[in-house]
Structure 1
Amino acid sequence: MNVQWMRLSPPRILVLGFAGIILLGTLLLMLPASSRSGVSLPFIDALFTATSAVCVTGLVVVDTGTHFSTLGQIVIAILIQIGGLGFMTMSTLVAIAFKRRISLRERLILQEAMNQSTMEGIVRLIRKVVVYSLILEGICGTLFAIRWSFDMPMGQAIYYGYWHAISMFNNAGFDMFGEFRSLTGYVYDPLVNFTAMFLIIAGGIGFVVLSDLVEYRRTKKLSLHSKVVLLATGLLIVFGALVIFVFEFSNPRTLGGLNWGGKILGSFFQSITPRTAGANTVDIAGLRQATQFFLIILMFIGASPGSTGGGIKTTTFIIMAGAVIAMMRGREDIVFFRYRLLQERIFKALTITLLALLLIIAVTMVLSTTEDSSFLMILFETTSAFGTVGLSMGLTLKLTTIGKLLICFTMFAGRLGPITLAYALGQKKGKELYRYPEGKMIIG
């Protein structure tokens, strides 16, 4: 059995590893002690919650704050942390703690899990991942605790602070404020807003970028990857906030009833959160249809590679946009910051985008026949699941059993990535020993 396990490819090990964590989480959440009522949660609901937690999505079929006991909430927080950092990261941390050598095969799996192009420095990166995560969650959890100590007993404020810091940094979107209201009660609060937005961005830009930023004072340089990620992230946040501000300025159900400070905070928060975070400070169902469709686009793009978020990733989006611009200008190469991209990168970006679109289209079509809801609501829910976002227009609570299973699969595929899942399910083929002659086709 051990020999068979060692023969598995890294993508298959990742798929089986995440599936095993989800199954374990499902069994723990089904325990009567995990529910406040002492009644066991149905298997399908426990599976949905565990999948959402491990895939750091945030879509829920039962309210986290009112349904689950302290034990259940702690289980969810642990699943979020494992899912956000990756089970291979956690297992490597244990191995390092016991001073066990990390084998070549484990390094290959880590390379796949962290979406890195090389194994060089992978174990050092894992150490940084854990350290940065704990420091950021600790600092921001303390800020949350201080703020919420004015609204609740100190013990509860500390518990809520660190629990939500874990959820926000891992871009999970789970909350414990009850009645599925997320952070809508803090739309005017600058401390809660800025702390949450910082955690979401820090978790979403990726650990390689975080490492580059931390070491910038010493190195005085950023990698091409970090420059592209920071540029894309900044542009998407500012442009997204502007679009939301314009579309929702006069909407009485969202920004219309807020003062200027609330409108600006609300616009920026709702621009950042579709990047796979899932928390919200205004009613998502109350947004205008144009805004909801715009959020679908942001959710599809998602966070950055090697992060706690999902989506096709910012770098994929930028490469696709760069290819369009290069073609329109009559240029053969895509150039960023005076670096030319390899054709392999372009093909990979195209593959990821098309596979993601096909998955979303297929799931949306099936859900349109199984669920009694509008097309936009179903598309929004499906894209939210694929991007591991967690925002919802209200469909999650009304999903049928088939609908829940489909959304679970979509969250799973979104967390692992469509290419990793395709590699895991497909047969490994050797390198082709020949090439066909070049042909020409008319396009456009």
Structure 2
Amino acid sequence: MKLQAKKIELTPPQILVLGFAAIILLGATLLTLPIAASSGDGTPFLDAFFTATSATCVTGLVVVDTGQHWSLFGKIVIVLLIQVGGLGFMTMSTLFAFVLRKRISLKERLILQEAMNQGSMEGIVRLIRKVIIYSLTIELTAAVVFTLRWSMDMEPLQALGFGLFHAISFFNNAGFDLFGLVTGPFASITAYADDYVINIVSICLIILGGLGFVVLSDLLDYRRLRRLSLHSKVVLTASGVLIAVGAVVIFIFEFTNARTLGALDWDGKLLASIFQSVTPRTAGANTLDIAAMRQATQFFIIFLMFIGASPGSTGGGIKTTTFTTLVGAIIAMVRGKEDIVFFHNRLGKDRLLKAITITMIALFVVIFVTMVLSTTEDRHFLMILFEVTSAFGTVGLSMGLTPMLSDVGKVMIALTMFIGRLGPLTLAYALGPKAEKELYRYPEGKITIG
């Protein structure tokens, strides 16, 4: 009697989790090779694994300085991991399918739908085609501008390398930088705090990468259609308000801080305030020393990092739409209304339940990892909370804790980055049992709330 092997059917969330894990392990293996380090010595696997996780999850937290530690080969591996991680490995697979004129199967469309956080498969392949075109166009344009600007400060070939690397890193909200070679380790772009070209181009890249590809598509089609979807209206409004409020708060809190804004002229203060408000959208680059900021500013940035970018983007966090839905629910409850209404559209109850679920899981992850690191790392609590939130939001901003992490700390932060990039709900769907349709409902009960 022949025994037939049971075929394992993986769900789209499970394929996404395994796909990202495989890319991280491949990247980590390549980064351990002696050719990947500038010294010619092999990098310890845990450090290589942490770097590969940070790059694939487009975070930017690093245990070794990217510019100084890694060779040209290592930097190429990192920037490729950033590109694949930012756009998603399924998007990159679709790109190859387009090149080879291969048909996209139903299973692949379902995975793409999950990866892009879309409600249906309708137009998903068309959206992916736009994602690839938009991304490459934006990155190449920014790379040219960066190269022209940095050619004034360095050799043309180095300026070209810096331009390409940072255009890809900033658009994908990764936060990796090479300025350890120029201004010292872990300095990010603090040397350009008052440089208009670097600031404006970087801000545009971060915002475009964090809005989400659906919103970018809507904006580009606006001239023809003369309308925006409700999703795009909510994302643009929430992002604009968060950036504006963030810039004002940072400007006020840091205005007299001699180690941050206090040392800059008025133009520099405005530029740096806007940049530091934009970068918690999960970008990770910084023009001010985060560790030198006042505690009130650092705590406010934690709040911005927890919210993060928007759905279907290269960023992490609970997302702007989740935050907006919760705010809408509070406003509706206070006003005695039953429905959450945005732009004359009512949100379904399932949207609120999903927003609450994502936020509660995210809070649990951040609180749990912070508690663990408070035990393993002998550091200030706010520094630990900042680093954990930065990892979960795949931001990459740091108060300086990451390079000093213990081995347990590195593993915990790496796992937090992984959860943050995939999204807590996707990970829960991947690890949980297959959902089954309920055949009955229990009678409604009442409990006292508040």
Instruction: Output the amino acid matched with 2:237.
Output: L
Structure 1 residues 132 and 86: CA distance shift in structure 2, 3 A: same
Q: 2:283 & 2:275 partners in 1: Cα distance? A: 10
Q: 1:353 & 1:404 partners in 2: Cα distance? A: 24
1:116 is paired with a residue whose SS is coil
Equivalence for 2:433: 427
Equivalence for 2:87: 85
Instruction: Output the amino acid matched with 1:102.
Output: I
CA RMSD between the two structures: 0.9
Trace 1:392-431 onto structure 2 (pairs within 5 A).
392-431=398-437
**1:441 and 2:442 aligned:** no
Equivalence for 1:46: 48
Which of these residues, 312, 317, 329, is aligned with residue 311 of structure 1? 317
Q: 1:335 & 1:349 partners in 2: Cα distance? A: 15
Equivalence for 1:111: 113
1:39 is paired with a residue whose SS is coil
Equivalence for 1:194: 200
Instruction: Output the amino acid matched with 2:176.
Output: F
Instruction: Output the amino acid matched with 2:341.
Output: V
- Give the length in aligned residue pairs: 442
Spell out, residue by residue over 1:29-71, the C-alpha distance to the aligned partner (whole angstroms, 9 max, x if none). Answer: 0110011110000000000000000000000000100110111
Trace 1:282-431 onto structure 2 (pairs within 5 A).
282-431=288-437
Gaps of 5+ in 1: none
What is the Cα deviation at residue 340 of structure 1? 0.2
What is the Cα deviation at residue 114 of structure 1? 0.3
Which of these residues, 42, 58, 61, is aligned with residue 60 of structure 2? 58
Deviates more, 1:17-26 or 1:93-102: 93-102
Gaps of 5+ in 2: none
Which of these residues, 265, 273, 292, is aligned with residue 259 of structure 1? 265
Structure 1 residues 188 and 421: CA distance shift in structure 2, 3 A: same
Q: 2:6 & 2:257 partners in 1: Cα distance? A: 58
Which of these residues, 89, 94, 97, is aligned with residue 96 of structure 2? 94
Equivalence for 1:69: 71
Structure 1 residues 307 and 6: CA distance shift in structure 2, 3 A: farther
Structure 1 residues 4 and 419: CA distance shift in structure 2, 3 A: farther
2:263 is paired with a residue whose SS is coil
Spell out, residue by residue over 1:325-359, the C-alpha distance to the aligned partner (whole angstroms, 9 max, x if none). Answer: 00000000000000000000000000000000000
Which of these residues, 210, 214, 234, is aligned with residue 228 of structure 1? 234
How does the TM-score come out when normalised to structure 2?
A: 0.97
2:261 is paired with a residue whose SS is coil
Structure 1 residues 100 and 40: CA distance shift in structure 2, 3 A: same
What is the Cα deviation at residue 6 of structure 1? 6.3
Instruction: Output the amino acid matched with 2:363.
Output: L
Instruction: Output the amino acid matched with 2:27.
Output: G
Q: 2:280 & 2:93 partners in 1: Cα distance? A: 30
Structure 1 residues 293 and 11: CA distance shift in structure 2, 3 A: same
**1:156 and 2:158 aligned:** yes
2:389 is paired with a residue whose SS is helix
Spell out, residue by residue over 1:211-270, the C-alpha distance to the aligned partner (whole angstroms, 9 max, x if none). Answer: 001111111110000000000000000000000000000001100111100100010000
2:281 is paired with a residue whose SS is coil
Percentage identity across paired residues of the two chains: 68
What is the Cα deviation at residue 95 of structure 1? 1.1
Q: 2:199 & 2:347 partners in 1: Cα distance? A: 37
Instruction: Output the amino acid matched with 1:143.
Output: V
| 4+ runs deviating over 3 angstroms | 3-6
Q: 1:271 & 1:236 partners in 2: Cα distance? A: 8
What is the Cα deviation at residue 429 of structure 1? 2.8
**1:129 and 2:131 aligned:** yes
